[in-house]
Amino acid sequence: MIEAEVGRILRERGLTLAVAESCTGGLLSSLITDVPGSSDYFRGGIVAYSNAVKERVLGVPGDVLATVGAVSAECARAMAEGVRGLLKADIGIATTGIAGPGGGTPTKPVGLVYIALAHAGGVLVREFRFVGARRGNKHSAAHEALRILHDFLRG
């Protein structure tokens, strides 16, 4: 289980983690907390499904939401930085996207997901285009977030 390996590395390094989720709806936090002892490194998570929560709680700038939208690299970056600061964690990770089946457009299709990881040295943002149904897209996004975190920690 990648979540157990991530937890082991976080614990060994004395690092803390916070999560901001939109399209994964708490699934990423659930996977992280499936690991016994995850309270040693997991500060918590915010499920910011609405733009108002993204803006008011996580500090996503209103102009980002108005110009490029919630499903964007810029929003994912702001969410990751916001949750990292809000929960005073070493690492913040965020997911935002269109799980489906509705909500897609020609420029932002169902399955488009942005995942961001914020740390002391900056922010990594990755774009994905998953092709599953809603549940599959949510699971794919949560697992990719764990993979990104794992790769970052193994650095």
* Average pLDDT over every residue of 39-57: 98
* Average pLDDT over every residue of 62-68: 98
* Average pLDDT over every residue of 105-127: 98
* Average pLDDT over every residue of 19-48: 98
Alpha carbons 32 and 52: distance in angstroms, whole number = 26
- Work out the pLDDT band at 147, boundaries 50, 70, 90: very high
Q: What's residue 90's pLDDT?
A: 99
Which residues does residue 122 pair with via DSSP β-bridges, in sequence order? 119
Alpha carbons 70 and 58: distance in angstroms, whole number = 12
Place of tokens 């697992």: 143
* Average pLDDT over every residue of 46-57: 98
Superfamily of domain 2-154: CinA-like (3.90.950.20)
Residue of 35, 120, 37 lying closest to 84 (CA atoms): 120
Q: What's residue 48's pLDDT?
A: 98
Alpha carbons 117 and 11: distance in angstroms, whole number = 18
Please state, as a whole number, how many other Cβ atoms lie within 10 Å of the Cβ of residue 6.
25
Q: What's residue 73's pLDDT?
A: 98
Q: Is the Cβ–Cβ distance between 78 and 58 less than 8 Å?
A: yes
Q: What's residue 35's pLDDT?
A: 98
pLDDT digits (tens, 9 = 90+) for 70-105: 999 999 999 999 999 999 999 999 999 999 999 999
* Average pLDDT over every residue of 61-71: 98
Alpha carbons 108 and 127: distance in angstroms, whole number = 11
